[in-house]
Amino acid sequence: MDILLVKETLTRDELSFLISLEGVERDYFLKSVGNKYIETLGKKVYFRGLVEFSNYCTKDCYYCGIRKSNNHSERYDIDDQAIIEAAIFAHENKYGSLVLQSGERSDTTFTSRITNLLKAIKEATNGELGITISLGEQSEEVYREWFEAGAHRYLLRIESSNKELYYKIHPEDEKHNFETRINCLKTLQKIGYQTGTGVMIGLPFQSYEQLADDLLFFKDMNIDMVGMGPFIEHTETPLYAHKDILWPLQRRFDVSLNMIAALRLLMPDINIAAATALQAIDPMGREKALRFGANVIMPNITPTLHRKDYTLYENKPCTDEGAEDCSNCLSIRVEMAGREIGYSEWGDSKHYVKRHGKSN
Ligand code: SF4
């Protein structure tokens, strides 16, 4: 094991071994990565205020509670003024950065609205608030327009880098095309975004080897940021039919932490988010992720009224807290994990800065 902790790079077999660890060996692995990562990256953790501003979606991913075909999902779309106020809240509370997320739409009413919103947020926060967006697959022209309007990071999760598995969790059609998704990631990089992706861990039919391949995919793609967490089934989705072959929730949680630690070894200078889904399984889930490799946390600052409706999975935590409660609770949690908050810092991915010679 010790030899794996100092290797320059790791093979598929070595990663599979680390991802599948259990018991005392696993404890040793996680603790060692935690210590090593403080030495290289320091103790700083960065806040990204998360605004899930709309759950209207034109797509039909088999695992997602807000998929187009789920008629039981209560749809909402927060008005621009409320989004700008949430951004001002993030700025005043020294979050440094904001994440705007919604279901996927690519009509011009939507894309132009986002362009104007980005400009308005930049203006309302003196250009000081960093903006990450997570708005799915778009044309190069739209990605470029949003970049020029002020967004500088983009999250587009691949969910699984294994094509066969991808089509077990998405319909195999033009709207859910595996190659398109990869091309979108490449386009985002070409434009100059700090580019993030991620996967779900513990999907039905998924193997340790496929998870190891996911980590190698992040490295091959030269990704700057990763957000990944346990798969949590939603009753009103097609994937729920496979609930009986899922790993127990605790195993999905444990393997998620193993994945974070293994990725930290493989890519020491990227940003890794402590996904909210971890907390849905273990109340201290995100803090544990911070101990073992994650360095970004995303307090939910979506106006509380709508938070319960953005349920990609069920039992999502913190859906009934106001933004201030969420922020206070997280500050304490970060300190409990032995980390420090980088207040008012964008917290750019060091990997990106190294590749580009500067932050954007
Ligand atoms: S995962 Fe994203 S794109 Fe897929 S249905 Fe859910 S919100 Fe839409």
- How far apart are the C-alpha atoms of 59 and 237, rounded to whole Å? 13
Distance 64 CA to ligand 1 centre (A): 6
Distance 206 CA to ligand 1 centre (A): 20
- Rounded to 5°, the CA angle 141-147-150 comes to 145
Distance 60 CA to ligand 1 centre (A): 6
Ligand 1, atom 4, lies closest to the CA of 61
Burial profile 174-193: b = 16 or more Cβ within 10 angstroms, e = fewer:
eebbbeebbebbebbbebeb
DSSP string, 19-41: HT--HHHHHHHHHHHHHHHHHHH
pLDDT of residue 316: 62
Ligand 1, atom 5, lies closest to the CA of 67
**Which DSSP category does 175 fall into?**
G
- How far apart are the C-alpha atoms of 230 and 275, rounded to whole Å? 8
Q: Candidates 312, 313, 314, 316: which one to mutate for ligand 1, based on the most atoms within 8 Å of Cβ? A: 312
Which residue from 195, 113, 190, 183 is spatially nearest to 156, judged by alpha carbons? 195
- How far apart are the C-alpha atoms of 302 and 86, rounded to whole Å? 7
**Which DSSP category does 248 fall into?**
P
Q: Candidates 64, 106, 236: which one to mutate for ligand 1, based on the most atoms within 8 Å of Cβ? A: 64
pLDDT of residue 266: 96
Q: Tens-digit pLDDT profile for the chain (360 aa)?
A: 899 999 989 999 999 999 999 999 999 999 999 998 888 888 999 999 999 999 999 999 999 999 999 999 999 999 999 999 999 999 998 999 999 999 999 999 999 999 999 999 999 999 999 999 999 999 999 999 999 999 999 999 999 999 999 999 999 999 999 999 999 999 999 999 999 999 999 999 999 999 999 999 999 999 999 999 999 999 999 999 999 999 999 999 999 999 999 999 999 999 999 998 999 999 889 999 999 999 999 988 888 666 566 666 666 665 665 665 666 677 787 888 888 999 889 998 899 988 887 665
Do 202 and 256 form a contact (C-beta atoms < 8 A)? yes
pLDDT of residue 337: 82
Q: Candidates 52, 67, 70, 166: which one to mutate for ligand 1, based on the most atoms within 8 Å of Cβ? A: 67
Q: Any idea which residue has 């809240």 for tokens?
A: 89
Instruction: Evaluate: CB of 65 within 6 angstroms of ligand 1.
Output: no
Ligand 1, atom 2, lies closest to the CA of 103
pLDDT of residue 163: 98
Predicted model pTM: 0.94
**Which DSSP category does 114 fall into?**
H
Do 312 and 29 form a contact (C-beta atoms < 8 A)? no
- Rounded to 5°, the CA angle 76-200-273 comes to 80
Atom of ligand 1 nearest to the CA of 65: 6
- How far apart are the C-alpha atoms of 9 and 18, rounded to whole Å? 13
pLDDT of residue 336: 82
Structural domains in the chain plus CATH codes:
41-356 (3.20.20.70)
* Token duo for residue 342: 């980088």
Instruction: Evaluate: CB of 228 within 6 angstroms of ligand 1.
Output: no
Other CB atoms closer than 10 Å to residue 244's CB: what's the count? 6
